[in-house]
Amino acid sequence: MRRKNLGQLMKRFMGLSVVAIMLTAVGISTATPASAAPTPLWGAAFGTNQDGRLEVFAFGGTTSDDLYHNWQRPSGGWSGWQPLGTIPGAVTGGAAVASNKDGRLEVFALTTNGTLHHMWQLAPNGGWSGWAQLGDFDVIGGLSAVTNKDGRIEVFVTGNQRLWSFYQFTPGGSWGLLDLGTPSASTSLGPVSGARNKDGRMEVFAVGAASSPYGGGLSSVYHKWQRIAGGDWSGWEPMGHCRTGIRAITTAANEDGRLEIISIEPNNGEYRADFCHKWQGFSGGWSGWQNLGNSQIDSTAPVAMASNLDGRIEAFTLRNNGTIQHMWQTAPNSGFSGWDTLGGTTGFTRQGLAVGRNGDGRLEVVGFRGDGQPYHIWQKTVGGAWSNWAPLESN
């Protein structure tokens, strides 16, 4: 594998080859849980344990590079925040979480010096390894982790104008690395989101900056896909944009398995953006972009999506007045509602937003207010009304 000089920025992307990577764990975390959040925290991500309990991960500590987690107890309520270890380097972009075939969670994070790190549960629903290095690059950007149909985790990372795939050779086993290249029309790659089609084929979407006519800003979405599940990959195909200057993308699957993409695209100012989406058609191919409106979305806001138990997709983001907004499909595989403020509380920031689904099917959302305190809100019944926001600590 060809390496370049490491340690440049914290912004974008990568290069080549298939190579087995041997892993060395750094130890086991044994810290005692705390009842309150060690604020400020940032970069929330949800994982679902084998037994259905949610687990939340966020970075914080004196250098903001300590990973903390808080999990639902089997008897109900939350454990409180516990440190899992300091990542070796300055974290960028928050964590990504995926489940192994046996139900063990695995966490991935990028650092500004060009490395990809991971840690994993030692047993389903159990304790954790320490951090281990998985990859080493120049400039890095987006991160996404997805579980293949056969239970192997695949991690997509953009860097050095390229997309890389880290993949397990066997479920829970050693890792390989594959260069997925770069779109010919793109000069750099940024945010990335991986997803699994209904037939098991992986598909990955990345935001690329074209050399023209859009200038230096991230502009269009590009995608590529496996030709068969677990097989080789197609070339890159452009998907365009709703506006220009895409800042964030995420994906979700409809109830019938068709994929849907949502993007945040600036609209006349740093704090004004539109929410746009594009979806796979019933007979194949993709729709055009549709603007879901608002124009009051913070243009650098995080975005999160999840599926309700009945298959309806629900999307969440941050408005420029500090409230969390959401919209949802009015029926499975159908159109979206208008925007609604989630819970009415203000003061939320760009520091992270995540949504997970409880074992009984109720959605739960985590966001951060101005002091870095994590708050959560949840559906009181499956697909129903929401609770009020509350600090996410121990209870």
Question: What's the one-letter identity of residue 88?
Answer: P
| CA separation for the pair 395, 28 (Å, rounded) | 25
Strand partners, 391: 375
How many CA within 13 A on the CB side of residue 129?
20
Q: Where are the beta strands (DSSP E) in 19-161?
A: 42-48, 54-60, 66-71, 82-86, 91-99, 105-111, 115-120, 132-136, 140-147, 153-159
Residue whose pair of structure tokens reads 């397990």 in the numeric block:
168
Name residues whose C-beta falls within 8 Å of residue 262's C-beta, 6 or more positions apart in sequence: 249, 250, 251, 252, 275, 276, 277, 292, 303, 305, 315
Cβ atoms within 10 Å of 185's Cβ, excluding its own: 15
List the structure tokens of 347. Answer: 């003061």
27: left (phi over 0), alpha (psi -120 to 50) or beta: left
Residue 309: per-residue pLDDT:
98
The CA R_g of the chain, rounded to the nearest whole Å, is 20
**What does DSSP assign to residue 357?**
E
How many CA within 13 A on the CB side of residue 299?
15
Question: Cis peptide leading into 40, omega within 30 of 0?
Answer: yes
186-196, strands of its sheet edge to edge: 186-196, 202-210, 220-225, 237-240
| CA separation for the pair 111, 136 (Å, rounded) | 10
Residue 287: per-residue pLDDT:
96
> CA dihedral in degrees (320, 325, 331, 332; nearest 10)?
90
374-378, strands of its sheet edge to edge: 348-357, 363-369, 374-378, 390-391
Residue 39: per-residue pLDDT:
79
Q: Where are the beta strands (DSSP E) in 270-331?
A: 273-279, 290-291, 303-307, 313-318, 324-328
Residue 211: per-residue pLDDT:
57
Q: How does pLDDT run along the chain (395 residues), one tens digit per residue?
A: 333 333 333 333 333 333 333 333 333 343 444 457 787 999 999 999 999 999 999 999 888 899 999 999 999 899 999 999 999 889 988 999 999 999 999 999 999 888 999 999 999 999 999 999 998 877 678 999 999 999 999 999 997 778 999 999 999 999 999 999 999 877 778 899 999 999 999 999 999 886 544 344 557 899 999 999 999 999 999 998 887 678 889 999 999 999 999 998 877 766 778 889 999 999 889 999 999 876 678 888 889 999 999 999 999 999 989 999 999 999 999 999 999 999 989 999 999 999 999 999 999 999 999 999 999 999 999 999 999 999 999 87
> What does the buried/exposed string (b/e) look like for 302-311 if buried means 16 or more CB atoms within 10 Å of the residue's CB?
bbbbbbbeee
Q: Which CATH superfamily is domain 90-391 in?
A: Fucose-specific lectin (2.120.10.70)
259-266, strands of its sheet edge to edge: 248-253, 259-266, 273-279, 290-291
| Contact assessment for residue 226 and residue 204, using Cβ atoms and an 8 Å cutoff | no
List the structure tokens of 234. Answer: 């197609």
- All structural domains of the chain with their residue ranges: 90-391
Closest CA to 262 of 311, 205, 224, 309: 205
| CA separation for the pair 289, 173 (Å, rounded) | 39
First-to-last alpha carbon distance for the chain, in angstroms, is 49
| CA separation for the pair 390, 34 (Å, rounded) | 17
Closest CA to 379 of 312, 295, 297: 312
